[in-house]
Amino acid sequence: MTGIEEYFRHLAEEYPRWNFIWLYDEKQAGRILSGLFMTIRLSIACVILSVVLGVLGAWLQGARSRWVRAVVQGYIQFFRNTPPLVQLLFFYFALGQFTPSYSPDGWLEIPIISNVGWAIISLSFFAAAFNMEIFRAGIEAVPDATQEAAESLGMSRAQTYGYIVFPLALRVSIPALNNNLVNLVKTTTQAYAIAVPELLYESVSVWNDFPSAQYPTMLLLFVVYIGLVGILVLGMNGWERRMKIPGYGV
């Protein structure tokens, strides 16, 4: 046992309410680390999928077909106006009943989409609804004359969107996108409700087994989420500075 582990073990003996058990017990440290890795994986997957869906949805909002525009608008209204926790439970418990399963050993039936998969789908769809509106606002900030100039050069609608409109709209959208992605990372804690073994789930499991570890583990949760959100904000702010065009947008 190292000096640090010995220190925290003595601290727990002298002050039972401050039992940093995951700093001197290998098994509990493993549970916290696995939860942290799951939270990071969940956050990265949800951020990427929500941004991809947001870009696609913003493009479809300008489609010539009113049916396509109506479907996208319905999607936005559904996911923006219902609580993310309700969506998560609906996806996992309701839709999850209709997804196929497989049996690798001939006995146990395993659904194709796990609880982690449903958490990624549900939380990404929720955040994507806001991303679509954020990107749409950015697109509307691009002057019509810019699009008309691109079309006069013979560009198709997809080329105008990909090469001209979206790169300019993205610069306007980054500050609002930053806020939504920060909110998404914090919302990943709701995956706890369907037993996804992320950081909150593992932390609650630790202090249920060792009640004296509740205060230190709650403190750990605050520190970890401040760190994760801080890294995301620093990255987004750096990206915003690199994308900045003097005299345009942000």
Picking from 154, 98, 88, 153, the residue whose alpha carbon sits closest to that of residue 127 is 88
Residue-level pLDDT at 248? 62
Note the pLDDT tens digit of each residue in 132-176: 999 999 988 888 888 888 888 888 878 888 888 888 888 889 989
Residue 2 structure tokens:
């190292």
26-60 helix and 214-243 helix, angle to the nearest 10 degrees: 40
Instruction: Say which CATH class 34-210 falls into.
Output: mainly alpha
Query: Residue ranges of the chain with pLDDT lower than 50?
Result: none
Number of residues that this document lists for the chain: 250
The angle formed by the CA atoms of residues 65, 63 and 134, to the nearest 5 degrees, is 135
pLDDT at 157: 79
Which pLDDT does position 75 carry in this prediction?
95
pLDDT at 171: 87
- The residue extents of the domains of the chain are 34-210
Question: How far is Cα 90 from Cα 188, in angstroms, rounded to an integer?
Answer: 16
Q: What is the pLDDT of residue 62?
A: 83
pTM assigned to the model: 0.87
What does the pLDDT read at residue 240?
86
